[in-house]
Amino acid sequence: MLTLFDTLSKSKKDINISSRPVRLYSCGPTVYDHAHIGNLRSFIFADTIARTLEYNGQEVDWVMNITDVDDKTIKKTIEEFGENATPNELKQLTTRHAKTFLADLEALNIDTKRIRFINVSDVIPQIQEFILGLLDKGYAYTADDGSVYFNIEKYQADFKDYGELVGAGFIEGKKVGARVAVDEYEKDNLSDFALWKARHTDDGQIFWTHDKLADGRPGWHIECSVINNIAFDGQPTDIHTGGIDLIFPHHTNEIAQSQPFYKPFSAHWTHSGHLLVDNKKMAKSAGSYLTLSNLQKKTALAGPTLRYLCLQNDMRNQQNFTDEAFEAARNGLQRLYGTYESASSDDKAEVLEKFSSSLNNDLNTAEAVAVMHASGLSKASMDTMDKVFGLGLGQTAAELPSEVAELAKSRQDARDSKDFAKSDELRTQIETLGYEVKDTNDGQKVTKK
């Protein structure tokens, strides 16, 4: 059984669900730009949780929102299409970025077909109804411009737990009652936040109507409360994942918005740490914003390599990305591909036991990767482990150094033209470089000796 650290209770808890699929929710991407590799790491983290649960024999119902309506997507749409942009133009822009995001996930060997994606733009009526429900219960109020805000003071009086995801007593000594209209803000600016933002000139023609609400659009935080609620039929979520930067205000506000309807909102909260690039937070202005397509210029196997690099570390902790670390991961993965090719046929049950106990111990992937590197593993064991790691063993051909690849190509040409003397000579050259050539029905296979 998987034991995972829970951010809310600050303790390790078992994921002990067997009678039904585990309800797993991941805060998805805001589709206004390419995701950076730090964002992608949080999805590798969630995918590893899903795969570990399945390895344990549990079914998983994995849901992810696509944030296609928020401050950032609207701002980008106005920049690109001008102030007359409508929800149609917003859709054009976000569909384009969502496609890139899905392609990134696939390149990371995250099977997008097994995730239930829900676009915010497809659930606006449900968001409106949810907000009306909060107004009805007194946890929200309408401001002069028609925007609807969450009432933290009222919530705190009834539930006494606002901000506990950050830490116990988070709200103590903080002034409440001020309002904040933007989606993202710092802890010091703790304020009533917008659930529904009345139409504003900055939003162009992007707004939705409702007979009980002003023309406008939802705030960011309410989106996830509603999508969890819809996806899991009002039942508590079992595991909610996201990057550590989402703890406040996003996840804190998700809890507050949802608990007036049901508690707990999520039984388990798990967060992945930041990925720094050269010890700096990723920022476009600093030139440290790295996407998967940047890495794909270095290697066609950038997806599995990044995945491997993340698995080598505890993904709950902060990790530093450097070119050297990526190169080392690339070599490590190549070694693993090589080990797989020459794997023995004996099986070692205790190896799999060690593998699964590492994973189930709060997702200790670093230790589990070390188990996979152990010598003498069978292909069957490695296949089993790769069901969790998703590194593509056996499906992805190892990369050959360019020198070897060129010799291999010449040798194939020589064989095609039946010049066997030349083909044999090239085989010897390839072997001198430490590679082995086998001629199979599917053509020649070159692997590391």
Binding residues for Zn ion, rule: CB under 5 A, are: 27, 224
The minimum distance between CB 28 and Zn ion, in angstroms, equals 7
Of the two residues 27 and 372, which places its CB atom closer to Zn ion in the complex?
A: 27
Angle at which helices 349-360 and 365-372 pack, to 10 degrees?
160
Q: 302-311 vs 87-107: helix axis angle to the nearest 10? A: 70
Structure tokens of 139? 């946890």
Task: Label residues 379-417 b or e (16+ Cβ within 10 Å = b).
Answer: bebbebbbebbbbbbeebebbbeeebeebbebbbebbee
Q: Which is nearer to Zn ion, 30 or 52 (CB)?
A: 30
Of 50, 107, 13, 122, nearest in space to 301 by CA: 107
Q: Compare residues 76 and 271 and give the one whose CB is closer to Zn ion.
A: 271
**Shortest distance, position 27 Cβ to Zn ion, whole Å:** 3
- Report, in Å, the least distance between residue 337 CB and Zn ion: 36
Name the residue nearer to Zn ion (CB basis): 199 or 251: 251
Half-sphere exposure of 10 (CA within 13 A, CB side): 5
- Rounded Cα distance between 214 and 222, Å, is 17
Of residues 27 and 118, the one with the C-beta less far from Zn ion:
27
Min dist CB 381 to Zn ion, Å, is 37
Task: Report the residue number, 33 or 89, with the smaller CB distance to Zn ion.
Answer: 33
Taking the C-alpha atoms of residue 15 and residue 3, their distance in angstroms, rounded to an integer, is 6
Helix (H, G, I), strand (E, B) or coil at 246: helix
Q: Considering the complex, what minimum distance in angstroms separates the CB of residue 178 from Zn ion?
A: 23
Smallest distance from Zn ion to CB 70, Å: 10
- Other CB atoms closer than 10 Å to residue 44's CB: what's the count? 25
**Residue number with CB closer to Zn ion (27 or 388):** 27
State the nearest-atom distance from the C-beta of 325 to Zn ion, in Å. 29
Output 4 or 66, the one with its CB closest to Zn ion. 66
Question: Minimum Å distance from CB 47 to Zn ion?
Answer: 17
Amino acid at 90: L
Q: Which is nearer to Zn ion, 22 or 224 (CB)?
A: 224
Q: For 259-283, give one letter per residue: b (16+ CB within 10 A) or e.
A: bbeeeebbbbbbbbbbbbbeeeebe
Nearest partner of 255 among 174, 184, 150, judged by Cα: 150
Nearest approach in angstroms of CB 13 to Zn ion is 21
- Cα distance between residue 154 and residue 134, in whole Å: 11
User: In the bound complex, what is the minimum distance in angstroms from residue 415's beta carbon to Zn ion?
Assistant: 55
Which CB sits closer to Zn ion, 242 or 392?
242
Q: Which of 7, 55, 17 is nearest to 385 (CA)?
A: 55
Peptide bond into 264 cis (omega under 30): yes
The smaller minimum CB distance to Zn ion, of residues 27 and 426, is found at 27
CB of 67 to Zn ion, least distance (A): 7
Which of left, alpha, beta for 11 (phi over 0: left; psi -120 to 50: alpha)?
beta
Residue with tokens 């991407």: 29
Contacts of residues 209-215 at CB distance under 8 Å and 24 or more positions apart, as own/partner, are 210/125, 210/128, 212/128, 212/132, 213/128, 213/131, 213/132, 213/146, 213/148, 214/142, 214/145, 214/146, 214/147, 215/146
Q: CA torsion, points 366, 371, 373, 375, in degrees to nearest 10? A: 160
Q: Is 332 helix (H, G, I), strand (E, B) or coil?
A: helix
